[in-house]
Amino acid sequence: MKKLLFSLSLFSLLASCYSPKKNCNQFHTGTFKFESYLNGELVTSTFTRNDTLEVDTFKGAVDTSSVRWINDCEYIIKNLNPKNMAERKPLHIKILTTKNDSYTFEYGLVGDPKKKKGTVTKIKD
C-alpha cells in the first residue's frame, strides 16, 4: 500500500511539472488565419506578420499594427491608425501551445485581467 501511495505521489509530482514544448519562433512571421464567432456568426480574419508589423484583413477592411515581442512566446500589438478610443489600447498576446501549423493563444488588453483564448493557423511562410 505504501508503494502504491508513493508511486501515485511521484507520478502526480512529475505530471504537474510537465510543460508542453513550444516552438513559438516559427510563428513570428508568415500569413495566418484566425476564425472566431462574432454575434453567432463564424468570421475569418487573415493577417501577415513580420518581426515588427502585422497587417490584418477583416471583412474587406485592412488594419496595420506594430508588433513588439516581449519574449519568444509573448508580444504586444498596437493599432497604428486607430479609428476610436478602443482601437488605441494595445493587446497583449501570449502563445500557450504550438502544433505543426497552429498555435493556441491567450489575449487581452494590456493591464486588463480579463483574457480570451483563440487558435491561429499558419497558411503561408
pLDDT digits (tens, 9 = 90+) for 45-96: 999 999 899 999 999 999 999 999 999 999 999 999 999 998 899 999 999 9
pTM above 0.85, yes or no: no
pLDDT digits (tens, 9 = 90+) for 97-118: 999 999 999 999 999 999 999 9
Residue 106 in contact with residue 117, Cβ under 8 Å? Answer: yes
**What are the residue ranges spanned by the domains of the chain?**
21-124
At which residue does the C-alpha cell 513559438 appear? 24
Query: Which cell is 105 given?
Result: 493563444
CB burial of residue 45 (10 Å; 0-12, 13-18, 19+): middle
- The DSSP bridge partners found for residue 109 are 91
**Pick from 33, 35, 60: nearest CA to 49:** 33
At position 56, the amino acid (one-letter code) is D
pLDDT digits (tens, 9 = 90+) for 13-46: 445 555 567 899 999 999 999 998 889 999 999 9
Residue 124 reports pLDDT greater than 70: yes
- Phi (first) and psi of residue 93, to 5 degrees: -120, 130
Helix residue ranges per DSSP H, 1-121: 2-17, 85-88
CATH number at 21-124: 2.40.128
